[in-house]
Amino acid sequence: MNRGVWKGHLALWLANIIWGVNAPVCKGVLASAANPEGINPFALSACRMAGAALLFWVASWMMPRERVSWHDLGLLLLASIFGIQFNQLLYLWGLSLTSPIDASIIATLVPILTLVLATLFLREPLSLLKVGGVALGCAGAVLLVLLSQRGAVPQSSLMGNTLCIISAVSFAFYLTAFRSVIVRYRSVTVMKWMFLFAAVVALVIYREPLAATPFMEFTPRLWSGVLYVVVGSTFITYLCVPIGQQHLRPTVVSMYNYVQPVVAVLLSVVLGMDRFTPLKGLAALCVFVGVWMVTRSKSRAQLERR
């Protein structure tokens, strides 16, 4: 395994560890019937996109300038629609309506959808090792989520679940359809443009809920949650994902989604909110073995060279 591949895996580990903590953090700061003091999901989306855009542009000023062609800017605009705007907005909106368990289970659809789309768009071969890895990882992730939520009060919502499903489809489409333009530039260059486009759209469309948000009345807990979403689960993670895309296949990148419920469960155990059982250990092992199987499967380029 060369240095670039290791770099891609490490970047995806970091991104998905941060995302693993994101669902409970977001649920804690979003406004709902149980949390009327929280922030409106549309306002949080606008803060997320504008804040990340600012951070990426500041970061780009510290690096050598990289020119992007007009054609590629158009592709990055489309990529921002599917990879950021639809994905982030619909996820936060859906999460505000449904339960974290439903949102976590729906997130396991991303690798399955990516596997299908990579076959259609990139002509990646389907192999028993790859399909088996996706299926095993999905089973482990779903089992882990279900085991960790026994006894929880159900808060399912058809509207919320539908929005989360569309968000998952959108992100899977982004991982496959726009890989060719993502790998041409540094991750900071790609993301500064994608988040600039997303921020402009968000600030125009969601200016009313953003203006109605009483930021001065936010508690320190609420502010810390918002900052985690903007800096951690947006700026840092979206800095890491393009690095993974540059060195790894879309199906491998998407498989790391299954790491998120493992992280969430481990955090709950450490904080004393859950307990570890052998069955949960087996479910986590299924996730890691599934990721390994997909990583070991052959790409189209590798098969053609053989």
Q: What is the pLDDT of residues 241-273, one digit of tens each?
A: 999 988 888 888 888 888 887 887 777 777 665
Number of helices (H), then strands (E), in the chain: 17, 0
pLDDT tens for 48-90 read 999 999 999 999 999 888 999 999 999 999 999 999 988 888 8
Q: How far apart are CA 223 and CA 242, in angstroms?
A: 28
Q: How far apart are CA 263 and CA 161, in angstroms?
A: 22
Residues present in the chain in total: 306
pLDDT tens for 179-202 read 889 989 999 999 999 999 999 999
pTM over 0.85: no
- What the block records as the tokens of 260 is 């998120």
Q: What percent of the chain has pLDDT over 90?
A: 31
Q: What value does the mean pLDDT of the chain take?
A: 84
Mean pLDDT of 23-35: 74
- Under 8 Å between Cβ of 38 and 222: yes
Q: How far apart are CA 104 and CA 95, in angstroms?
A: 10
Residue 63 has a CB neighbour count (10 Å cut-off) of 11
pLDDT at 262: 81
Q: Is 123 left (phi over 0), alpha (psi -120 to 50) or beta?
A: left
pLDDT at 150: 55
Look at 23-32, 97-106, 145-154, 221-230 and tell me which has the smallest mean pLDDT: 145-154
Q: How far apart are CA 262 and CA 284, in angstroms?
A: 6
Residue 2 has a CB neighbour count (10 Å cut-off) of 8
Query: Where residue 149 falls among pLDDT bands split at 50, 70, 90?
Result: low
